[in-house]
Structure 1
């Protein structure tokens, strides 16, 4: 089952998802960064699906999922995952989340630990501030005519300046992806990040946890990953010489770290 599929959850939102890999393998859920679709993981799925049944999905407001109007919350994004797992008959999964996906992974491990086997939190944080920054970004996105300016801001935050300046093929791929993002959906997800604060509750995470950080990450700084690794009992920390999308910038090293931890 490699095509895009859809599950309608409790509030009527339609969540897009797809599977890769044999149905008999353990399930690994991949959760994206804000302003990306499930195709953010295209470079990893080939290798990961040799060992796992890989489940990818689009956040509400992004990609093939529907876009409810208004601000979203981390609680709602976490429950989207739980309702998707319920719809697919999946009791327990490994979970790998990057950036906003990492926020969701923390929420799941805190609120529904029985559904998570092993947890990987990549290039993420437990809290990002100030709230005024996200309010400004929400206003700018909703007032803009299109995603052109916002796309360039994201690319500059996600990748080394040399890659962006050279307009390498992967940069153009992500620029194309960014230009398709629904601006209302992006504003909704910005609100979820703005209001999220898991700094106290991550100490409750009991699942085996790997934290992957980018040494040069300017979005979710290395210090944020170090704080998560210190707060979650028994968590391991791997630091890659990356900016924000470490799975894209260092795909081989990223995948190796993931497989070593999960296997």
Structure 2
């Protein structure tokens, strides 16, 4: 398992595809890790240089003391790409990963040539709602909110499948410190004004049954960027790369081809 030494944290990452191929970078959502992309990555052209990493306090990346600022999470991504000498990537961000994608584009447009904003927004929820979740987790652990999160993450049909228990267990395996640290980062983020200043090819992806970032919210954010495209994936919730990986990969591949990235 490779790690990038970023000063105060060792960022766990994974490389797939071709070492000198056009770069494609993935950032995961709150409560998951880089394996959330497994079924999408296996469907992508082998010519790509694929970089996946675990957010601070998620998966193989250790937690640092909470709370985190969004600027810290953006800096983690920036330093990783600089270390790996990644330039001109398409950056795919899911939920909080999509907020990191926006922040990185605002700060270091030289690193990317396109954005894929999946199930995310310029602002997600309210500071009060996130603080309520943080307090519940501090008191009773992630288990206290797990069932509610599963309802917000997945469409009804998926919640009846055996796979649900895997992703619930996956959520419970995440560091409490890392989870509440990232909650705090989301709570303090409002990218509406800076994102409206972005000028780069952008694809927005939403799930028809997303209870965390509804399709209209995703569209509202994507529409801030002139020339952007929006795609709705039916029968998918907040994690369409898990529920509908083939549909997600198809839309991503089409976007990569439109940009001449493959």
Normalising by structure 2, what TM-score? 0.94
From 205, 211, 223, give the equivalent of 1:218. Answer: 211
- Kept in 1, the 8 Å contact 2:130–2:184? The answer is yes
Q: 1-side partners of 2:244 and 2:143: how far apart? A: 26
- Kept in 2, the 8 Å contact 1:109–1:206? The answer is no
Q: Deviations over 1:141-184 (max 9, x none)?
A: 1111x4323322221111123322x2x23212212211210011
Secondary structure in 2 aligned to 1:76? Answer: helix
Secondary structure in 2 aligned to 1:217? Answer: coil
Q: 1-side partners of 2:61 and 2:113: how far apart? A: 26
Q: CA deviation at 1:243?
A: 1.5
What is the match of residue 113 of structure 1? Answer: 109
**Relative to 1, partners in 2 of residues 1:109 and 1:47: Cα closer, same or farther, differing over 3 Å?**
same
- Kept in 2, the 8 Å contact 1:48–1:54? The answer is no
Q: 1-side partners of 2:60 and 2:206: how far apart? A: 28
- Kept in 2, the 8 Å contact 1:7–1:14? The answer is yes
Normalising by structure 1, what TM-score? 0.93
What is the match of residue 93 of structure 1? Answer: 89
User: Gapped runs of 5+ residues in structure 2?
Assistant: 258-262
- Kept in 1, the 8 Å contact 2:23–2:90? The answer is yes
149-158 or 197-206, which moves further after superposition? 149-158
Q: 2-side partners of 1:257 and 1:130: how far apart? A: 30
Q: 2-side partners of 1:100 and 1:191: how far apart? A: 11
Q: CA RMSD for the aligned pairs?
A: 1.3
What is the match of residue 3 of structure 2? Answer: 6
Q: CA deviation at 1:91?
A: 2.6
- Kept in 2, the 8 Å contact 1:32–1:100? The answer is yes
Secondary structure in 1 aligned to 2:192? Answer: coil
What is the match of residue 78 of structure 2? Answer: 82
